[in-house]
Amino acid sequence: MEAPDYVQAFFYFYMYKKFIVILFSAFLGALFILSAWLKLFPIEPFEYQITGSTFFGWDASVFVARLVIGLEFCLGILLLFSYDLKKTIPAMIVLLAVFCVHLTYLWISRGNQVDCGCMGESISITPLQGILKNVVMIVMGVFIYKSDFQFELKIKQLYAYLFIVSTATVFIVNPVDLNYSRTYLNKPFEHFELNLNPVYNSHDTANIELPRMNVRNRKLILSFLSASCPHCKIAASKISVIKRRNPKIPFYFFINGDPKDIRKFLEKTETQDIPHSRLNGQEFVKAAGLNLPVIYYYDSGQVSKQVDYYTLEQDHIEKWLGQSKSK
């Protein structure tokens, strides 16, 4: 006996709605997993974003970044399989609401031109775009929550187990080593002379821009960066955070690249206000070598220490400069 038309219509509607719910849930899950993965490699810009826009310090941000990424992986897996949506969706909405609050603060305090770091270094998103993305995800979550479909296993504390496994995996894949930079910084360093006179006296205007300040008789942090170097962008981003936390620290950039690329580099890393000049050709190589970035503790023609973005420490810089510890 054939079912009445209204029964068939209800059945098709139910199946269609179920398909939409599964599709939305899988999409949200994939988006969370993608966001976590892009933040993980490299993880340093996300750590610096946390340090520069929250109350967490340098050491704490290393752990907070990995916990957030682990939570995103956990929620992503649960959503991907439409697992226990009556609990998973509220957890997702709470997390996205927290993200929106943070992005709103970021928007107000630093403008809408900055990269919020929502999708790592691969995809640049402004705070406003990040807020809109999260709002759309919340709306999709509300639609899913109102449906009756969900998949659930009779395993107690599955959420906790999955979060622990996800977070532990993040720590294993991208481990924390707080002592690495401090061990390096405490090692004796053989000072050497860095003669910058050829840069200041050069007439090669095609490759060398006259420096905007005379650093030769100053004590500061001198960086040699390339506008096309991804590691240099990470270093500059960290310097940007250090400068916001302690504006008294003097920095200077010599940047290799075309003027257009240099402008983009400075905008991306929020270092437009740090004194800088373009330096290409052999003088750049003589001063910095080929392995970039190169960051010097520079004191009146002498290099006291050479570091990279891993070993660049705000506290150590302040002690070297004779400044009091920043708050």
Q: Is the residue at 78 inside a domain? A: yes
The one-letter amino acid code at 78 reads L
Q: Is the residue at 53 inside a domain? A: yes
Q: Is the residue at 327 inside a domain? A: no
Q: Is the residue at 148 inside a domain? A: yes
Q: For the chain, what is the radius of gyration of the CA atoms?
A: 25
Q: Kindly state whether residues 13 and 141 are assigned to the same domain.
A: yes
Q: Kindly state whether residues 105 and 245 are assigned to the same domain.
A: no
> CA-CA distance, 13 to 19, in Å (whole number)?
10
| Range of the structural domain that residue 246 is part of | 182-321
Q: Is the residue at 206 inside a domain? A: yes
> CA-CA distance, 131 to 128, in Å (whole number)?
5
Beta bridge partners of 83: 151
Q: What is the pTM of this model?
A: 0.86
Q: Kindly state whether residues 241 and 315 are assigned to the same domain.
A: yes
Q: Which of these three, 132, 153, 176, is where a domain ends? A: 176
Q: Kindly state whether residues 163 and 213 are assigned to the same domain.
A: no
Q: Kindly state whether residues 78 and 208 are assigned to the same domain.
A: no
Residue 245 C-beta-side C-alpha neighbours within 13 Å: 26
Q: Is the residue at 203 inside a domain? A: yes
The secondary structure of residue 57, as a DSSP letter, is: -
Question: Contact 126/106 with Cβ under 8 angstroms?
Answer: no
Q: Kindly state whether residues 172 and 219 are assigned to the same domain.
A: no
Q: Which of these three, 176, 198, 228, is where a domain ends? A: 176
Q: Kindly state whether residues 113 and 227 are assigned to the same domain.
A: no
Q: Kindly state whether residues 59 and 154 are assigned to the same domain.
A: yes
- Summarised one tens digit per residue, pLDDT across range 151-197 is 666 677 888 999 999 999 999 999 998 887 878 887 888 889 999 99
Q: Kindly state whether residues 166 and 189 are assigned to the same domain.
A: no
Q: Kindly state whether residues 241 and 303 are assigned to the same domain.
A: yes
Q: Which of these three, 143, 158, 176, is where a domain ends? A: 176
> CA-CA distance, 180 to 104, in Å (whole number)?
35
Give the CATH number, domain containing residue 255: 3.40.30.10
- Summarised one tens digit per residue, pLDDT across range 36-66 is 999 998 999 999 999 999 999 999 999 999 9
> CA-CA distance, 54 to 47, in Å (whole number)?
11
Q: Is the residue at 326 inside a domain? A: no
Q: Kindly state whether residues 133 and 164 are assigned to the same domain.
A: yes
Total number of domains constituting the chain: 2
> CA-CA distance, 191 to 189, in Å (whole number)?
6
> CA-CA distance, 65 to 114, in Å (whole number)?
19
Q: Kindly state whether residues 97 and 205 are assigned to the same domain.
A: no
Q: Is the residue at 98 inside a domain? A: yes
The tens-digit pLDDT sequence of the chain (327 residues) is: 455 555 555 455 555 678 888 899 999 999 999 999 999 989 999 999 999 999 999 999 999 999 999 999 999 999 999 888 889 999 999 999 999 999 999 999 998 988 888 898 888 899 999 999 999 999 999 999 988 666 666 677 888 999 999 999 999 999 998 887 878 887 888 889 999 999 999 889 889 999 989 999 999 999 999 999 999 999 999 999 999 999 999 999 999 999 999 999 999 999 999 999 999 999 999 999 989 999 999 999 999 999 999 899 999 999 999 964 444
